[in-house]
């Protein structure tokens, strides 16, 4: 039996992709999982799928960009499943394009979801965790916050903010028994990536060639690390930023022989 069995979790942006895989993996470990998505139908469809697999899950629609929604999401999980043990801040949006042409709206939306959403949901969670002197927060960043990328300035900047937010909150929460860690995915195989690469005319094999490990990450690669961060075994592990990327963020063409 996992030490996560019976504990409550909330995963934002869990209607698809990494968030969905993470929510499923946590539920398979016995956690009672609140599945958040801004699209109510997507959240409910995911929960129906999980329940058909014998997993315990609850659909929790809401926008991470609204303080009232963030508080309501945490309250709903606790009302249904008991004290919140784990918050996974996964919800995010991607934007790209030349900086000179980037709209103010695109910048604001990226920061509102990717950075402000992490703050609002974390704030709602720690208000419940601090009195109990225990809890876990895992923020999903990106290697885009660790390296530089051309024409992705809003996304890279927002994910860099998530990384440093995680470190700062980890120090503040350490005396309260609450750990805060940040997982930074590299390129990960999802249906969305397949579609976007086709739209941009970039073959997937060209993207894979940028990864020293020779393959893209699978959604499950990230989900398993989240579960470890949530476990009792990781109780003294906090403020860490871990890239799950097959060494992609370390790779430079001039430093490796093929």
Structure tokens at 161: 């903010």
pLDDT for 258 equals 39
CB 207 within 8 A of CB 197: yes
Give the whole-angstrom CA distance, residue 44 versus residue 59: 5
pLDDT string in tens for the chain (258-residue length) = 689 999 999 999 999 999 999 999 999 999 999 999 999 999 999 999 999 999 999 999 999 999 999 999 999 999 999 999 999 999 999 999 999 999 999 999 999 999 999 999 999 999 999 999 999 999 999 999 999 988 999 999 999 999 999 999 999 999 999 999 999 999 998 866 776 677 777 788 888 998 999 999 999 999 999 999 999 999 999 999 999 999 999 987 655 443
Q: Is 139 domain-assigned? A: yes
CB 23 within 8 A of CB 50: yes
Count structural domains, the chain.
1
Give the whole-angstrom CA distance, residue 156 versus residue 162: 10
Return the beta strands (E) in the chain as ranges. Answer: 8-11, 32-37, 57-61, 84-89, 135-140, 178-185, 241-244
The residues near 12 (Cβ < 8 Å, ≥ 6 apart) are 19, 36, 37, 64, 73, 87, 88, 89, 90, 91, 117, 121
Residue 155 appears among annotated catalytic residues: yes
In terms of Cβ atoms closer than 10 Å to its own Cβ (0-12, 13-18, 19+), residue 38 is: buried
Q: Is 147 domain-assigned? A: yes
Q: Is 203 domain-assigned? A: no
- Report the alpha-carbon angle 27-227-19, nearest 5: 65
Q: Is 3 domain-assigned? A: no
Q: Is 41 domain-assigned? A: yes
CATH number for the domain that contains residue 113 = 3.40.50.720
Alpha-helical runs (H) found in 53-152: 67-81, 104-111, 117-132
Q: Is 224 domain-assigned? A: yes
Q: Is 197 domain-assigned? A: no
Query: Which pTM was predicted?
Result: 0.95
Collapsed DSSP state (helix, strand, coil) of residue 184: strand
Q: Is 253 domain-assigned? A: no
84 φ/ψ angles, rounded to the nearest 5 degrees? -70, 120
Give the whole-angstrom CA distance, residue 137 versus residue 139: 6
Give the whole-angstrom CA distance, residue 92 versus residue 113: 6
Give the whole-angstrom CA distance, residue 178 versus residue 174: 6
Expressed as residue numbers, the domain containing 183 is 8-188+219-247
Q: Which of 155, 180, 182, 230 is catalytic?
A: 155
């Amino acid at each position: 039996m996992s030490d996560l069995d019976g504990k409550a979790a909330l995963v934002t942006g869990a209607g698809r992709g990494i968030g969905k895989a993470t929510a499923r993996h946590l539920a398979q470990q016995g956690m009672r999982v609140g599945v958040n998505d801004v699209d109510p139908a997507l959240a409910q469809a995911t929960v129906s799928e999980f329940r058909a697999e014998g997993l315990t899950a609850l659909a929790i629609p809401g926008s991470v960009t609204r303080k009232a929604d963030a508080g309501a999401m945490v309250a709903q999980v606790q009302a249904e499943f008991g004290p919140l043990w784990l918050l996974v801040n996964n919800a995010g949006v991607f934007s790209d394009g030349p900086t000179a042409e980037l709209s103010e709206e695109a910048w604001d939306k990226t920061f509102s979801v990717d950075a402000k959403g992490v703050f609002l949901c974390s704030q709602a969670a720690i208000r419940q965790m601090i009195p109990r002197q225990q809890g876990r927060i895992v923020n999903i960043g990106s290697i885009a916050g660790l390296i530089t990328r051309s024409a992705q300035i809003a996304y890279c900047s927002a994910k860099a903010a998530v990384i440093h937010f995680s470190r700062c909150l980890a120090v503040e929460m350490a005396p309260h028994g609450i750990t805060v860690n940040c997982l930074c995915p590299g390129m990960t195989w999802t249906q969305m990536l397949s579609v976007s690469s086709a739209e941009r005319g970039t073959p997937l094999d060209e993207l894979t060639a940028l990864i020293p490990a020779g393959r893209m990450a699978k959604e499950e690669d990230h989900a398993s690390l989240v579960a470890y961060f949530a476990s009792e075994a990781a109780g003294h592990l906090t403020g860490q930023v871990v890239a799950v990327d097959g060494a992609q963020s370390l790779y430079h063409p001039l430093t490796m022989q093929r």
